[in-house]
Amino acid sequence: MLKAKFIFAAALSIILFNAAGAAAQSPADSSLNGVRLPAGAVRLNAEDVPADVRETLAKLIALGNGKLRQGASEVLVWTGGGYRKSSAPQIVKQFAVGLKQSGWTYEVGEHDPAFTVFNSINTGVRRGVIGFFAVTDESLLLAWTEMLPADATNAVPWNAGQTSAHNNPKTPTTKNAVDVLRVGAQTDYVNVMGDEMPAIPEFPGLPKKPGYVRGYVKNTLGQPVVGAKLGLKTARMYDAYLAASAETDARGYYEIKIPMGGGRFDYAGVALAYGTGRAALGLHPADGGLSESYPAATGGVENFVLLPYGIANAEDVKNTPRYRSNYYGGSFLIRYFIGGFSGMLSAGTEIEITLTPEGTLVDGSAGRSFVIRKTVEDSSLGEFVINNVPVGRYRVEVKQAGGAPLKLTQKSPTGSVFGIEPKEATGGASLVFHPLSGDAKTAVAARGNWTDLEIIVQRP
């Protein structure tokens, strides 16, 4: 069982929590398993969770001796004027009762007045979680995380709740889960999947083969991706490039002869049927990056993964988080106008955009829903980009929060099979993202491959 010294550091840090400033949502239900929460819970944004809490959850998972992987996580806090330390045991009891009423067990491990380590299993859905309560005079904190088999293909890293406009990891594996995100008045983008990356599958070991770059291409489920196109080119010589390419076979295997002593990846993509057209998606290097050059003398091995979402270039995301090609996930732009004329929105209107998957994602995995909210002000920019949406088909619905539906009109591209259908609708429409092209050779290695999709939102 986890030693108390591992969780003391986590408890010390929660004394400083200020729920009013640290969180953006007071949920009725858990985002982890949908269980009803005791009143007063506030879910913390990922950036507000101390590293000690994250590390403690990781150490709990480590108790599985390599048999477990960490899935989605959630951190909740009860604090403020309505909280009393004497009420903490009753909150914990209500939480345990809620679990049991929803078909989950509640088993206590290590326990003392300040700390309770527990696990919870639901045999009906074959899911398990592990976590802890930490009690101080100022607050009660609950941190818990999914326990997944070590070989699970749907394992995901940290997920601390879904309320920040960006850099909040998410899990795409719970079909009925809904992520709620808010976009600030002066913020012009939202990255719905934050810095989470899908699980990378295992690849067969391959030795280097002099004169060649070779490897495999798989999806996140570990299945081979057939027909992916990969190309190398040399440095510029005499106003020209030397290039070589290959296509993956039924095993997802490719092999490219390196031109002129050395080369680097020019493109790596796969064209898939998407909506009623074809979309070329960029491939992600399984080891996280590409070499500057692959020398012919030694050869090289580079495996790739088809990702439905994720960050393609972490450094560029820091500098230009609004730019769609920094993400593998889909992208679209919402534009609106503020004023008193027909169709314009009034300052202070809160737009609510709901994205609900229609079927599975492009890699065959399950999607999840998103609710994105933004209050428009006279000083706001009149537009914002929704980035890194797991690639699939969605039902998009737009309304004033808690109120009337709004009108959607696709401004660009025109005459395209991509975007919303119908191209003008009130309340909702079907949505597919707009790829740069349907040619895999346009997909730059380790980059997203999306282009403009602009939707105007206005009053009917």
Provide the pLDDT for residue 251: 94
Q: Where are the domains of the chain?
A: 4-161, 212-306, 314-458
Provide the pLDDT for residue 93: 92
Q: What does pTM read for this prediction?
A: 0.63
Provide the pLDDT for residue 46: 62
Provide the pLDDT for residue 366: 82
Provide the pLDDT for residue 122: 77
| pLDDT tens for each residue of the chain, 460 residues long | 444 444 444 444 443 443 334 444 566 677 777 778 888 888 877 666 777 788 888 888 888 887 887 777 888 888 877 788 888 999 999 999 888 887 889 999 877 778 889 999 877 656 789 999 988 888 888 999 888 776 543 333 333 333 333 333 333 333 345 778 888 877 889 999 988 899 899 999 999 999 999 999 999 989 999 999 999 987 544 445 678 999 999 999 999 999 877 888 999 999 999 988 999 999 999 998 898 889 999 999 999 999 999 999 888 888 888 899 999 999 999 999 988 888 888 888 899 999 999 988 888 888 889 999 998 887 666 889 999 999 999 999 999 877 899 999 999 998 899 999 999 999 999 999 999 999 999 999 899 999 989 999 999 9
* CATH 2.60.40, applies to 212-306: yes
Question: CB-based contacts of 236: which residues, under 8 Å, 6+ apart?
Answer: none
3-state per-residue secondary structure call for the chain: CCCHHHHHHHHHHHCCCCHHHHEEECCCECCCCCCECCCCCEEECHHHCCHHHHHHHHHHHHCCCCCEEEEEEEEEEEECCCCCHHHHHHHHHHHHHHHHHCCCCCEEEEECCCEEEEEEEECCCCEEEEEEEEECCCEEEEEEEEEEECCCCCCCCCCECCCCCCCCCCCCCCCCCEEEEEECCCCCEEECCCCCCCCCCCCCCCCCCCCEEEEEEEECCCCECCCCEEEEECCCECCECCEEEEECCCCCEEEEECCCCEEEEEEEEEEEEECCEEEEEECEECCCCCCCCEECCCCEECCEEECCCCECCHHHHHHCCCCHHHECCEEEEEECCECCCCCCECCCCEEEEEEEECCCCCCCCCCCEEEEEEECCCCCCCEEEEEEECCCCEEEEEEECCCCECEEEEEECCCCCCEEECCEEECEEEEECCECCCCHHHCECCCCCECCCEEEEECC
